[in-house]
């Protein structure tokens, strides 16, 4: 197993950071690595906003569900799916941009995710730790206003960056046979494999929390999917020019 694969398999979410700042040159290098990610039809539909302002950081921390590390991490980035620059490009050539298509939303969002994962890998290769912050979508209208995002741009998630001040265990992932299928989707053995995997996750939580949490993966998922998942998102995205057709 080469060092790149070892690095990928060693990923942990880091939520506690030292006071050491991250040099701007390193942040720039990580973002440039993000730009090198695959991009659908060369669309390059991701914009990153580095939030340095303390008041904005405090607001984002609160809106993300009072996740204190959003405020305390040395660096905080917001990854935005961005079709605004494409409108600018059309305007430059006096061409009418046909926007609002679901496919455009998908490609912009996927571009953003690929970009961000490259940033995460680059950061971890330099000894930094990261954690994604999807909680920004809890109050996505306030986040959008705070960051002055134009139409055709929406914040997909944030990312805390810094030097780790904790060393959590690697969280076990689903068995390979559950996620890698051959020729067709065959799930006949998935339930049995997930039951075995549940024991690994339960042991992980027991170890990490000192016995305070012993939930299995299937219990966690079944509980989560009985709740509404940010039902405000559809109306918000439509108001920003996405998902209209």
32 and 110: one domain? Answer: yes
Question: 1 pLDDT band (50/70/90 cuts)?
Answer: confident
Determine the pLDDT at residue 18: 97
Residues 41, 139: one domain?
Answer: yes
Does the residue 245 lie in any domain?
no
Does residue 184 share a domain with residue 122? Answer: no
The model's pLDDT over 180-196, given as tens digits with 9 standing for 90+, comes to 999 999 999 999 999 99
SS3 152: coil
Residues 26 and 81 in one domain: yes
* CATH code, 24: 3.40.109.10
Residues 95 and 199 in one domain: no
Count of structural domains, the chain: 2
Whether residue 108 sits in one domain with residue 89: yes
Among candidates 126, 123, 43, which has minimal Cα distance to 82?
43
Please give the residue range of the domain that contains residue 107: 3-168+228-239
- Cα–Cα distance for residue pair 99/104, rounded to 1 Å: 8
**194 & 163 share domain:** no
pLDDT tens for each residue of 122-162: 999 999 999 999 999 999 999 999 999 999 999 999 999 99
Give the pLDDT confidence score for residue 148 in this predicted structure: 98
Average pLDDT score over residue span 214-230: 94
Residue 210 confidence (pLDDT): 86
Same domain, 128 and 42: yes
């Amino acid at each position: 197993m080469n060092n790149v694969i070892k690095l990928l398999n060693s990923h942990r979410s880091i939520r506690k950071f030292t006071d050491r700042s991250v040099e701007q040159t390193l942040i720039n290098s990580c973002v440039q690595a993000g730009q090198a990610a695959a991009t659908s039809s060369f669309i390059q539909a991701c914009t990153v906003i580095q939030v340095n302002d303390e008041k904005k950081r405090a607001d984002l921390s609160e809106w993300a569900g009072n996740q204190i590390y959003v405020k305390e991490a040395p660096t905080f980035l917001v990854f935005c799916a961005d079709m605004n620059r494409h409108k600018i490009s059309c305007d430059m050539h006096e061409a009418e941009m046909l926007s609002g298509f679901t496919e455009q939303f998908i490609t912009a969002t996927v571009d953003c995710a690929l970009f961000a994962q490259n940033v995460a890998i680059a950061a971890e290769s330099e000894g930094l730790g990261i954690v994604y912050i999807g909680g920004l979508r809890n109050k996505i209208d306030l986040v959008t206003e705070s960051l002055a995002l134009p139409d055709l741009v929406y914040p997909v998630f944030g990312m805390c960056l810094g030097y780790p001040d904790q060393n959590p265990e690697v969280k076990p992932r689903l068995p390979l046979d559950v996620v890698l299928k051959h020729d067709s989707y065959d799930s006949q053995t998935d339930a049995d494999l997930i039951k075995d995997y549940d024991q690994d996750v339960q042991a992980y939580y027991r170890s990490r929390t000192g016995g305070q949490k012993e939930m299995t993966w299937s219990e966690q998922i079944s509980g989560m999917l009985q709740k509404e998942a940010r039902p405000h998102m559809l109306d918000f995205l439509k108001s920003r020019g996405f998902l209209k057709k």
